Amino acid sequence: MTALRDADGWFKSSASGGQGECVEVNTATTEWVGVRDSKLGAGSPVLAFSRDQWRAALTAL
């Protein structure tokens, strides 16, 4: 998952507050979606989800 962790393209919701209590998402790779803690930025561990897992999680919300 190093490629995902180091990939450009991390973003967070434009609706997030300025307190740094957000997650960042990266959809830059074709196979995986990464989620990390915005407070830690590049030093954060990355949770990796397949595209199907990510789609299912968003659908469940």
pLDDT along the chain (61 residues), means of 10: 73 77 88 91 91 96 88
Backbone angles phi, psi at 42, to 5 degrees: -65, -20
pLDDT score at 47: 93
Is residue 23 classed as helix, strand or coil in its secondary structure? Answer: strand
Domain boundaries of the chain, sorted by first residue: 25-61
Its pTM surpasses 0.85: no
pLDDT at 34: 93
Q: What is the pLDDT of residue 48?
A: 93
Residue with tokens 């407070």: 39
* The pLDDT value given to residue 16: 75
pLDDT at 42: 86
